[in-house]
Structure 1
Amino acid sequence: MSDPKSVAILGAGAWGTALAVLAKTNGHQVRVWSRQGSQTLAEVVQGADIVLSAVSIKGVRAITSQLQSLAVSPETIFVTATKGLDPETTCTPSQIWQEALRDHAVVVLSGPNLSKEIQKELPAATVVASKIATAAEFVQVVFSSDRFRVYTNSDILGVELGGTLKNVMAIAAGVCDGLELGTNAKAALLTRGLTEMVRIGVHWGAKLDTFYGLSGLGDLLATCNSPLSRNYQVGYQLAVGKALAEILLHLEGTAEGINTTQVLVQRAKQQNIPMPITEQVYRLLQGEVTPRQALLELMLRDMKPE
């Protein structure tokens, strides 16, 4: 094991808690901050080697603003484990972090990581990405263990977008299972969904290959095939006739795919990027179509080559 490091985790939800346990199990000193906690943000981040944020996308900008006014060591590495797009600027979390804390290394942590499985100590793998290789490697060492394998990557945007865009597809996958459409339909949906993720990701500047790795295809498979996924649950419950407001009332935590769908549709329209699955998920969430109508729209699209 490496020398014990000081790790500050921001956000005490299921994901933040799971990551805190992983670092603690590796012998590191871990402090967790939450809005309901007794410790201030300044107390939690003081002297931290790593500050890892697992707050929802809507809370990211407020956190970065607070950190700007604190005396954080220039050596501190900031890790973002948030999957979403800022509703106001359409920026990714790492772009918000980098803009606010320009002199610090920023690392993205993303992969097929259902927090409840990690809490049960089931094996998993993830990716840490940064423009600064040494920063990604530092984070890799802190979180790696025999049950949590951590890979590094230099494509920070691709790793981040894989985890963000697949949440939209997870809502669609939940609908597919809720309607009991079978394995053939699900396979077609996920394959075309990955194509859609790649199309927008590459258009925004991510590398194609990244989407076929753990943070893209890997996360897509995990999230679209598990009732543990909140986004999958939203789609599934819509398909069995529940209203969105009722689903969200009983959902543990945030289904980031709902916000991501809205931001994505807005940005894809501006840039004229065809996103048929995302478009139908958006219309479904808005109550413009039923789950069956959304599926029919996809099946009746113009014939074309693959």
Structure 2
Amino acid sequence: MTSEEHSLLSAADIRKLADILDLRPTKTLGQNYVIDPNTIRRIVGAAHLDAREHVLEIGPGLGSLTLGLMDVAHTVTAIEIDPPVANRLATTVEAWRPESSHRLSVVEADALRIGRADIDAARPQAADGPPTAIVANLPYNVAVPVMLHILAELPNIQHGLVMVQQEVAERLVAGPGSKIYGVPSVKMAWYGKATSAGTVGTKVFWPAPRITSGLVHFAAEEPPETTATRQEVFEVIDTAFAQRRKTMRAALSQWAGSGVAAEEILLAAGVDPKARGEVLEIEHFVRIAEHKHHRGES
């Protein structure tokens, strides 16, 4: 089955649903709805979903992307923070895909705070297991925290496609040595490989945002083997980029206890103390955290 076999929500359909709900999209919730069916088809196609997959959708809004996902995936769990919008989604799916309503579960929740147990409890009755893919049009102001939170909560996620502000997309896929390589880039690398999947213009949204959106494809990989915890590794990343122009020795001095201690940890981890965080890969940050961890145990 392909998304071309079924009609999708048009601009007129979106505005009609908004009128029914007396909905006025807000910047606070990052509500910019895709009103172009071809863009939905493009997003769904770029996600490379398996017909047996359980997909997690964050911020389904009025259902444009939800319908497209249900045409190619086995089941969909949608997380929506706005109560009236969340309550309407199942009705929309029943009207547009009456034969598929049992394959959808809608959770009214904040994606930044939802836990694995909440998602498991809300699993669609037709789902064979937890979500293995994430596809979402993420609110610009919380895109990175939401993505990192979901990946931490759902280790079964194997791949996905997210639409975010173009600047955020560029940061997520940036590699060491790039001027925009930073905390989002390195933390995403802990979970897997993020690559660019293209851009989306402003005219396919209602209301139209002021800036272009970017599509980011994600493929999960096993985190580097280490005795340090993810929290310890992420603390090193945050500290290293808090003042990104500082050398690692200077940036980590307070974290390590002193400049001398920081230099010893860096040398033991095989990292040049004079290097800056922007040239280091995730494995470097892992080794730094690991050597601090071992130092604390000795």
TM-score, structure 2 length as denominator?
0.32
Rg: which structure is higher?
Answer: 2
Could you say which structure has the higher strand fraction? 2
TM-score, structure 1 length as denominator?
0.31
Could you say which structure has the higher helix fraction? 1
